[in-house]
Amino acid sequence: MDLPAHQRPLFSDRVTVNGAVTPLALLADGRLWWSEGIQRCLSLEKEVLGFVASGPYIKLKTLVEARDGCCTTGAAGRLVPNDVVFKPSSDETHRLWCQKLREFIDSLGRPKRLLVFVNPFGGKKSAVKIFAEQVKPLFEDAQIQLTIQETKHQLHAKEVACSLDIKKYDGIVCVSGDGILVEVVNGLLQREDWNTAIKMPLGVVPAGTGNGMAKSLLDSVGDPCAISNAVLAIIRGFNPFMPFKHVIP
């Protein structure tokens, strides 16, 4: 019986994962299937930030739902890194894995260059630490080029949004509360080219006091208001069902 198109393998190989040899298949829908005693599956689109080739190995940088509770509520959970390292069967399949993974991830239309505002004075004044420890490493895993702007005073984000070269970025991210996001929107709306500028995708990583916008955007897709969930939504930003694009209706 023929498999549906999305379940057909794009590529498969006998690889080594955690010392055990297993078939690993990349399906047309971007799922990776292999066995480690139990069947394992990873979605390149939903769970993989990027990958790194190191010697004969390939490391998939992932964010997956934490399964630390004894009961499942049905609600989506907090995301945690859980990298998967595998060794392809030969130099040639190593090269092909890198090529296929790169092609699939590139086909997802994820942002490549982001302007990131970090407000050191928002909320508990921990945005700089949150950014350095929890946000930047995930964007780096996704190989997104960042331009970082710490806000130096009130309305600084608005001034920058008012005059920045929008062609340089695929989106703007605020590691802050709602205040900086509002400043950015107001800055974009005050530009002569506001009609184009306001279409810039905007994202918010909760690092303020109320974080109302981050909460409601993540809630609208059934996610908890957690840093990792917000960052993954931004990395996957060009999926129309994710919050990154929904800041501006």
Ligand X SMILES: Nc1ncnc2c1ncn2[C@@H]1O[C@H](COP(=O)(O)OP(=O)(O)OP(=O)(O)O)[C@@H](O)[C@H]1O
* 151-157 contacts, C-beta under 8 A, 24 or more apart: 151/117, 151/118, 151/119, 151/120, 151/121, 151/176, 151/180, 155/183, 156/183, 157/117, 157/119, 157/183, 157/184, 157/187
91 in active site: no
Helix (H, G, I), strand (E, B) or coil at 80: strand
Give the residue at shortest CB distance from ligand X: 177
In angstroms, give the least distance from the CB of 184 to ligand X.
11
Rounded to a whole number of angstroms, the minimum distance from the CB of residue 13 to ligand X is 47
Burial class (CB in 10 A: 0-12, 13-18, 19+), 60: buried
CA distance 233 to 236: 5
Q: Which of 30, 50, 179, 237 binds ligand X (CB under 6 A)?
A: 179
- In the complex with ligand X, the residue whose CB is nearer, 41 or 155, is 155
Q: Which amino acid is at 226?
A: A
Choices 77-85, 103-111, 115-123, 238-246 (CB under 6 A): range interacting with ligand X: 115-123
Rule CB under 6 A: is residue 228 a binding residue for ligand X? no
Q: Which stretch binds ligand X (CB under 6 A): 34-42, 47-55, 87-95, 208-216?
A: 208-216
Query: Residues, the chain, total?
Result: 249
Round to whole Å and give the CA distance between 114 and 171: 5
Binding residue (CB under 6 A) for ligand X from 180, 197, 202, 235: 180
Q: Which of 111, 203, 208, 243 binds ligand X (CB under 6 A)?
A: 208
Please identify every residue annotated as catalytic: 178
Summarize as ranges the residues that interact with ligand X (CB under 6 A): 119-123, 151-156, 176-180, 183, 208-211
